[in-house]
Amino acid sequence: MKEINIGQATAITSPDPLMLVCTKKEDGALNMAPVSFFMYASFTPPMLAFAMLPTANSSVNLLRTGKAVLAAPSVSLRDAVMAYGSSSGSDKNKLEEHPVALQTMEGVDVSFPVDTRIAFAVTLEQTVQAGDHNLYLCRIDNISADESREALFAWEGGAKVAPAQEK
């Protein structure tokens, strides 16, 4: 074995889970950003955790509203995911620039893409500063899934997104 750094490690653990963090901006517009730092955190009650830079517009929105939908994007969203991951909702309306078809879950006022394999509506419970990221521990309020859709995963430390097994 040889010693490597964390960037190399994220490439070696590929494919990593990929979620679009959907949040509401202060002006009411929807924002989306991909994250690969994602995990389940508890069965009872159902909880998940994910880590984002505190400066991300998604972080600002989550800390203000306490609400988000984490949606696992499916294959038709490949280009949109990369576009949403390379610009900030603080500077622009990403959904206006790269529109995708949207849906909602009953009782949840944050939309998410139609082409989603699984979506979690969450409420922020705890924020832990984790080095240069914030770790968000969230209660899962609702889960919806469409197993017929094929999920995208993060490869090579987020340099590309693709199915877990390329056909």
Ligand X SMILES: Cc1cc2nc3c(=O)[nH]c(=O)nc-3n(C[C@H](O)[C@H](O)[C@H](O)COP(=O)(O)O)c2cc1C
Residues that bind ligand X (CB under 6 A): 18, 31, 33-37, 51-53, 56-58, 82, 85, 87-90, 133, 154, 158, 161
Nearest distance from residue 161's CB to ligand X, in Å?
5
**Minimum CB separation from ligand X for residue 2, in Å?**
25
80 vs 107, beta carbon nearer ligand X: 80
Classify the phi-psi angles of 63: left when phi > 0, otherwise alpha if psi is within -120 to 50, otherwise beta.
alpha
Least separation in angstroms between CB 94 and ligand X: 7
Beta carbon nearer to ligand X, 18 or 48: 18
CA–CA gap between residue 42 and residue 74 (Å, rounded): 25
Our CA angle for 121, 153, 136, nearest 5°, is 40
Distances (CA, A) of 25 to 67, 68, 95, 137: 11, 11, 12, 20
Nearer to ligand X, 28 or 45 (CB): 28
Element (H, E) at 62: helix 57-65
Which residue number has the CB closest to ligand X? Answer: 85
Q: What are phi and psi of 109, to 5 degrees?
A: -100, 15
Q: Choose between 11 and 82: whose C-beta lies nearer to ligand X.
A: 82
Residue-level length of the chain: 167
Taking the complex as a whole, how short is the minimal distance between the CB of residue 101 and ligand X, in angstroms?
20
